[in-house]
Amino acid sequence: MNSTPAKSVRNADTRKRFRMLCLETTCDETGAAVIEAPWFEPGMAPALPPVPSVVSNVVTSQIDLHGPFGGVVPEIASRAHLRTILPVIRQAMAEAKMTYDDLDAIAVATKPGLVGALVVGLSVAKTLALTIVKPLLTYDHIEAHLFAAQLAEPEVPVFPCLGLIVSGGHTTLLDCRTALDVTWLGGTLDDAVGEAFDKVASLLGLGYPGGPVIEKAAVAGDPKAFAFPRPFAQESRLVFSYSGLKTAVLRAYEQNRDKVADAGERDKLIADLAASFQAAAADSIAHKTKQALKFTGHGRLVVGGGVAANMALRKSLEDLCRKRRVSLHIAPMWLCTDNAAMGAVAYLKWLRGESSPLDCDVMAGLLRPDKPGKS
């Protein structure tokens, strides 16, 4: 169980504070966090509300359980959440030095994600809210990923912005007018970029999760060794595709692996494939992000999701933002990958007097304006 030291602890101020337990079980991380923020009576919050502080943040990863399969197995994920969620919550409460009586609300991510995994989090959140007689606040995992950048930079407004989510489940561009007023602009037609990293690592025999091992192997490789595809580069449509890239890496590997004479040459081949794949993945994200910045006219880019850890991608996005005079906001790693602290976005709902009924449901997919009703 990893926990992140509190960035700011309970305020010595005697004014009433709002305290919320946030839960995250959308995929393969179980998270619980306690956040704290100024209290406002309904309708009394300023137009630019204060940014909550993270009092405790506990995350357990299921990497060891999914590793042998080379990707997340939904049923294993749900069962692991079932086993770990209560210990994770207990640790988050203990680190926050709070009891359930100190809480003013329970927040939980209810979309998008693996349905069985979401159901575990929502069931626990409903039970807690019912038991302590406090409101239940549901939040969108994608909006939470973007809000993570705001948590990391509480002094600087990061909204409105262009949002980019690059993770194991999503490759999505979003027009964010505020943290809760977000429109889907474009996304992947097949695999998510993180999923492509995981699949390519698996076919090259590098292990799981793929992102960090591909990045490590790529250091010794030549990113120009293989000319892998950059799909839709000539089109203005904001779409990504990674299944063709994955197949191209597989073909190049199959065509070249018998030509290598020894272990050293084999390592060089793997390094060149990893570097060329990583360059293609980063290029296509930077290119579509550039088009989306032009299209929306936003002066800020906020990036979230585990693939944001990738240095090649970061460099491409930094170069892009420097050239376009756009400010770039990427949360530190502990806030970039899945965590419950980013559920602090639900504070904004509480400020609006919103809460969710106890008969609410989860939603596995992302609602897309081009496919109404579909995920």
User: Where on the chain is the footprint of ligand KG4 (CB under 6 A)?
Assistant: 27, 167-169, 194, 197-198, 209-212, 215, 305-307, 309-310, 337-338
Which of 121/194 has CB closer to ligand KG4? 194
Which of 134/246 has CB closer to ligand KG4? 246
Which of 116/306 has CB closer to ligand KG4? 306
CB-CB contact of 188 with 328 (8 Å): no
d(C-alpha 307, C-alpha 305), whole Å: 6
d(C-alpha 55, C-alpha 52), whole Å: 9
Pick one of ligand KG4, Zn ion, none as the site partner of residue 194 (Cβ within 5 to 8 A by kind). Answer: ligand KG4
Pick one of ligand KG4, Zn ion, none as the site partner of residue 187 (Cβ within 5 to 8 A by kind). Answer: none
Q: Is residue 339 a contact point for Zn ion (CB under 5 A)?
A: no
Q: What is the dihedral of CA 304, 309, 313, 316, to 10 degrees?
A: 80
Q: Is residue 291 a contact point for Zn ion (CB under 5 A)?
A: no
Which of 128/328 has CB closer to ligand KG4? 328
- Residues in region 166-185 near Zn ion by CB under 5 A: 167
Which of 144/185 has CB closer to ligand KG4? 144
Counting every residue, how long is the chain? 375
- Nearest 5°: CA angle at 237, between 236 and 239? 130
Q: Is residue 276 a contact point for Zn ion (CB under 5 A)?
A: no
We find the least distance from the C-beta atom of residue 111 to ligand KG4, in angstroms, to be 13
Residue 186 phi/psi, 5-degree rounding, is 180, 165
Spell out a b/e string for 109-133, using b for 16 or more CB atoms within 10 Å of the CB, else e: bbbbbbebbbbbbbebbbebbeebe
Q: Is residue 143 a contact point for Zn ion (CB under 5 A)?
A: no
Pick one of ligand KG4, Zn ion, none as the site partner of residue 198 (Cβ within 5 to 8 A by kind). Answer: ligand KG4
The CA-atom distances, in angstroms, between 146 and each of 13, 18, 165 are 29, 22, 8
Pick one of Zn ion, ligand KG4, none as the site partner of residue 310 (Cβ within 5 to 8 A by kind). Answer: ligand KG4
Residues 6+ apart with CB under 8 A from 363: 110, 111, 112, 118, 375
Other CB atoms within 10 Å distance of the CB of residue 38 = 17
Which of 187/194 has CB closer to ligand KG4? 194
Interacting residues toward Zn ion by CB under 5 A: 167, 338
